A and B are shown apart, each in its own frame.
Chain A
Amino acid sequence: MNVGYLCTYTPKELIDAAGFTPIRIFAGDAQISLATAHIQSYACSQARGSFERALRGELDVQAVVFTRCCDTLMRLADIWERNTEMKVYNLEFPTRVEEKSKEFYFNELKDFVKVLEEWGGEVTLESLKESFSLYYELEEKLKKLFSIKPDYDTAKKVQEMNVRDAIKLVDERLREAEGEDKKPRVLITGSVCPFVEVYKLFEDAGFALKDDICTGTRFFTFNTPPRDIGSVDEGLRFLVEKYFDKAPCPTKHFPKDDRFNYVLELAKDCDGVVFLLLKFCEPHFYDYPQLKERLEEMGKKVLLLELEFPIASYEQLRTRIEAFYEVIA
């Protein structure tokens, strides 16, 4: 069984350990039409576009996990459940990401294991250990690949396949990957962007890339070293830590403003920062003005690109990206 998910805070390891394949769901190329009958047009096009694919029967997914994220996805869970044959479960990742929420999330994970079992899966100590090490391997290899040269095509593909195949794919790409000459470097920050042509536009313009995108490095940037576990519960506690300490996202609340600090740190060795934001995405748009201000204080040039999926005009984007390049180079 394939289990779909939308948010990178979803504990893929558990799904894999239960014997299912976690598959990330992205918006597609088709115009959003069927979804319009179920959700208003002021929902972001990642939500509408993903749901559109479900309604069109394009997803080979039998269940979907909605990990608590933004208001839109919170409501989409019910809408999805009512209009597809898929099983739907909402996993309440705490919005407050700090020590005191860990116990709560641990209990949420325990409940999730039960749900996976109801779906016919089984999480054992052995299967959990295996999934942990596979995902760790994948994440480390992706980090390595991206440190040579970011590869968004691969990053996207691995999110839509079994972790075992994903590792093979990254291995292959690692063999071919080549570094680049020195070029002006841009940090692309934002929500999701599975349309890999967009990154290509930046490369065509002459930029070297670095990103803080939910479908890019935020998918694999974890900071918790692997450790041996003696029981499933211990494994769950490890997962709590791993996900609490991952690359932070604006849908959460960190008491020490981790999110801002994270982006500011990433921007240090970049010449410019591009906000690649999805129209109607509240979490990112609330951060934008103040984050932009802080970046400009650091002397960075900033550009805002507002997208809607599917992307209507790459040419328009190209013009703006090239102009930005001219400003920086």
Chain B
Amino acid sequence: MITAGIDIGSLTAKCALMRDGELIAYKVIKVSPNLEETARKVFQETLKAAGIKEEEVEKIIATGYGRNKVGFADKRVTEISCHAKGALYFIPTTRTVVDIGGQDSKVIAIENGKVAEFVMNDKCAAGTGRFLEVMAAALNLKVEELGEVAEKAKRATKISSTCTVFAESEVISHLASGEKVEDIVAGIHEAIASRIAAMARRVKIEPDIVLTGGVAKNRAMKKALEKEFGMEIKTPPEPQIVGAVGAALFA
């Protein structure tokens, strides 16, 4: 049986095609304002990559914050359940999932293969990919470069503001007072890691901890989190599509 999982996040849309529990193709694209169209597009592109016709797909499961806008889906499941399932698929020993996406970050505790508890960030964007994007822009860097830049740092500049708007001007004033860019970037990572760890402490954290979502591609973020948790963190080979894979498995 072929199933599709479509994860419409706040920044990116992801689609995963699975055949009898085997991942056969996936795609990640940027989200456009029309979510239904975005969903169609990422689905079609993935079909094309796999060389499969739409009729061959038996079930389509939508997840992510745009899940209710995917009219052609057979079922909708939240990204909490999907990330848990997806993480278990890639790393069966997963007990804690930390998903850092564009606008949300969440920590999910898993017991006996099921979601036992979860927490999400509050309304503000500190501690999410969005925060990283704003800071990268303020420093004239690409998000993809942040990890590398941070690794060059000798020390981390302290970023005290938790609010994105204030943090942005704080970063600018650090630049003005001559702080090194890499130290500031390292500071930003520390600030986010500390936010996430703080939130995570509201649930029971057990190893293995698995990091998912687009931000997981950033090595410096993983390191900063490992330091905060005092534990090793695992990442699946393609962390950004974990939710989509989980969705496809919900068929």
**Direct A–B contact in complex, judged by CB atoms less than 8 Å apart:** yes
B145-184 interface mask toward A, CB cutoff 8 Å, 1 = contact, 0 = none?
0000000000000111110001101100100110000000
- Chain B residue numbers with a CB within 8 Å of A35 are 198
- Chain B residue numbers with a CB within 8 Å of A311 are 160
Q: Given A31-B194, A33-B194, check contact A310 B160 (CB 8 Å).
A: yes
Choose one: B122, B170, B194, B199; the contact of A312 (CB below 8 Å).
Answer: B170
Q: How many B residues are at the interface, by size bracket?
A: 20 to 34
The main secondary structure of chain A at its interface with chain B is loop
Contact check, B198 vs A313: say whether CB atoms are below 8 A apart: no
- Chain A residue numbers with a CB within 8 Å of B124 are 41
Closest CB-CB distance, B204 to chain A, in whole Å?
12
Q: Complex formed: what's the CA distance from A41 to B122 in Å?
A: 9
Q: Complex formed: what's the CA distance from A40 to B123 in Å?
A: 12
Asked if A101 CB lies within 8 Å of chain B CBs, one says no
Count of A-B contacts judged by CB separation below 8 Å: 48
Asked if B197 CB lies within 8 Å of chain A CBs, one says yes
Q: A-side interface residues toward B, CB under 8 Å?
A: 31-37, 40-41, 308, 310-313, 315-316
- Chain A residue numbers with a CB within 8 Å of B197 are 33
Q: Given A311-B160, A312-B160, check contact A33 B198 (CB 8 Å).
A: yes
- Chain A residue numbers with a CB within 8 Å of B200 are 37
Choose one: A37, A41, A310, A312; the contact of B166 (CB below 8 Å).
Answer: A312
Contact check, A316 vs B198: say whether CB atoms are below 8 A apart: no
Closest CB-CB distance, B116 to chain A, in whole Å?
17
- Chain B residue numbers with a CB within 8 Å of A41 are 122, 124, 162
Closest CB-CB distance, A318 to chain B, in whole Å?
10
Q: Complex formed: what's the CA distance from A315 to B177 in Å?
A: 10
The main secondary structure of chain B at its interface with chain A is helix
Q: Complex formed: what's the CA distance from A41 to B161 in Å?
A: 12
Q: B-side interface residues toward A, CB under 8 Å?
A: 122, 124, 158-162, 166-167, 169-170, 173, 176-177, 191, 194-195, 197-202
Closest chain B residue to A42 by CB distance? B122
- Chain A residue numbers with a CB within 8 Å of B173 are 313, 315-316
Contact check, B170 vs A34: say whether CB atoms are below 8 A apart: no
Which of B122, B162, B170, B202 is most buried by chain A, counting CB atoms within 10 A of its CB? B162
Closest CB-CB distance, B139 to chain A, in whole Å?
16
Q: Given A37-B199, A312-B166, A316-B169, check contact A31 B191 (CB 8 Å).
A: yes
Closest CB pairs A-B (n = 8): A37-B201, A36-B198, A312-B160, A312-B161, A33-B194, A33-B198, A37-B202, A315-B173
Q: Given A31-B158, A41-B122, check contact A313 B199 (CB 8 Å).
A: no
Contact check, B166 vs A33: say whether CB atoms are below 8 A apart: no
- Chain B residue numbers with a CB within 8 Å of A32 are 162, 198
Q: Complex formed: what's the CA distance from A104 to B162 in Å?
A: 42
Closest CB-CB distance, B192 to chain A, in whole Å?
11
- Chain A residue numbers with a CB within 8 Å of B169 are 313, 316
Closest CB-CB distance, A278 to chain B, in whole Å?
14
Closest chain B residue to A310 by CB distance? B160
Closest CB-CB distance, B159 to chain A, in whole Å?
8
Contact check, B160 vs A37: say whether CB atoms are below 8 A apart: no
14 chain-A/chain-B pairs, Cβ below 8 angstroms: A31-B159, A31-B191, A31-B194, A33-B198, A34-B198, A34-B201, A36-B199, A312-B167, A312-B170, A313-B160, A313-B170, A313-B173, A315-B176, A316-B173
Q: Complex formed: what's the CA distance from A295 to B200 in Å?
A: 46
Q: Complex formed: what's the CA distance from A282 to B170 in Å?
A: 26
- Chain A residue numbers with a CB within 8 Å of B158 are 31
Closest CB-CB distance, B203 to chain A, in whole Å?
9
